Amino acid sequence: MFQFVSDKRFDVAGFGTNAVDFLIEVPSYPAFNSKIELSRYAQMAGGEVASTMVGLQRLGLSTSYAGRFGSDAAGDIGIRSLADEGVDTEFAERISEASTQIAFIIVDEVSGERTVIWKRDQKLAYSPDDAPLDAARDCRILHITPHDAAACIAMAQAAKEAGAYVSIDIDNVFDGIDSLLPMVDIFVASADFPERLTGIDSLERSLAELSQTYGFRLTCATLGSQGSILLADTKIIRTPGFDVPGGCVDTTGAGDAFRAGLLYGIFSGGSLETAAASANAVAALKCRKLGARDALPSVKEVTTLLKNAGRG
């Protein structure tokens, strides 16, 4: 179903969000206008696309990250976190007098579910004129969040012209969506988004409608602990989630990990059922620890979980 061009430096190039997260774990989610003592807190690197690149790198793929960091201390943390993992940062930029994207994330200790409060400095925004097109030209898959839609359209065009596939991590309707989505091959959204986008009151029918309208090869929604639903042509693949080994500590970045596992599965050349199982396994393993990246697994850990769950 996927055939990759060979003469490229990177398996996957990411263009989109990076962030530095302040994670605040609480015994239970606070009521409005209340006070609560936290259990623990930590500052860690995150952001959707940057975390997906780290996930892929841990799974043995070669990645590059194109995105913007501020000139602040958080920017140092963000860039170093990628370089330390082996993600290429040639196309990462520092913007003077800009703040790195930040998130305050409240994690409920009982369920591990998180609530995200974030801010992105407008100075980090790309226009189509300064989109790093060479990053899009030198990969087999371009993975994007549509944060700066016009720049993403230019990136997707460059990727397609160079023979790469385009993968999108999408949760919001934005101006230009109808120009971008026809270039997308792999569409992965959270459970509620396909119905919001189509106005159709059924997830399966929304996925089918999107797949037909835009011509995606893979159309997928993630369903939290319930796993995922993936549509390829007319085939529907429902994949249950995995129990998190040791219990679910934090779902921050689970969606980013899922996308890393899915792209890894596609590269591995196995069946789509196996790719979907790998995606859910990578995401469940991510939930073992606080933060978007700490518990992102190796291939060996994924294989072990699949085997232990009788799904290997």
Ligand X SMILES: Nc1ncnc2c1ncn2[C@@H]1O[C@H](COP(=O)(O)OP(=O)(O)O)[C@@H](O)[C@H]1O
Q: How far is CA 114 from CA 6, 22, 29, 249, 292, in A?
A: 40, 12, 9, 10, 11
Number of CB atoms found within 10 A of residue 157's CB: 18
Is residue 287 at the binding interface for ligand X, with CB under 6 A as the rule?
A: yes
Dihedral sign, Cα of residue 49, residue 55, residue 58, residue 61: negative
CA distance 239 to 273: 8
Contact 230/219 with Cβ under 8 angstroms? yes
User: Which residue has tokens 């990969």?
Assistant: 139
Q: Which of 12, 79, 284, 290 binds ligand X (CB under 6 A)?
A: 284
Is residue 139 at the binding interface for ligand X, with CB under 6 A as the rule?
A: no
Q: Which of 17, 89, 225, 278 binds ligand X (CB under 6 A)?
A: 225
Q: Which is nearer to Mg ion, 163 or 224 (CB)?
A: 224
Q: How far is CA 24 from CA 109, 116, 287, in A?
A: 10, 10, 15
Per CB under 6 A, which of residues 35..94 are in contact with ligand X?
A: none
Q: Which is nearer to ligand X, 150 or 285 (CB)?
A: 285
Distance of closest approach, residue 266 Cβ to Mg ion, in angstroms: 22
Per CB under 6 A, which of residues 108..137 are in contact with ligand X?
A: 112
Q: Which of 126, 165, 258, 267 binds ligand X (CB under 6 A)?
A: 258
Name the helix (H) or strand (E) containing 186: strand 186-190
Q: Which is nearer to ligand X, 133 or 184 (CB)?
A: 184
Task: Give the strands of the sheet with 63-70, arranged side by side.
Answer: 92-95, 63-70, 10-15, 139-144, 165-170, 186-190, 218-222, 228-232, 235-239
Is residue 224 at the binding interface for ligand X, with CB under 6 A as the rule?
A: yes
CB proximity list for 208: less than 8 A, separation 6 or greater: 219, 231, 234
Two structure tokens written together for 5: 């061009």
Residue whose C-beta lies closest to Mg ion: 224
Is residue 223 at the binding interface for ligand X, with CB under 6 A as the rule?
A: yes
Which segment (23-31, 78-86, 149-157, 241-249) binds ligand X by CB under 6 A?
241-249
Size of the site for ligand X (CB under 6 A): 21
Residue 248 binds which entry of ligand X, Mg ion, none, CB below 5-8 Å type-dependent: ligand X
Per CB under 6 A, which of residues 174..193 are in contact with ligand X?
A: 190-191
Is residue 206 at the binding interface for ligand X, with CB under 6 A as the rule?
A: no
Residues that bind ligand X (CB under 6 A): 112, 190-191, 222-225, 227-228, 241-242, 244, 248, 251, 254-255, 258, 280, 283-284, 287
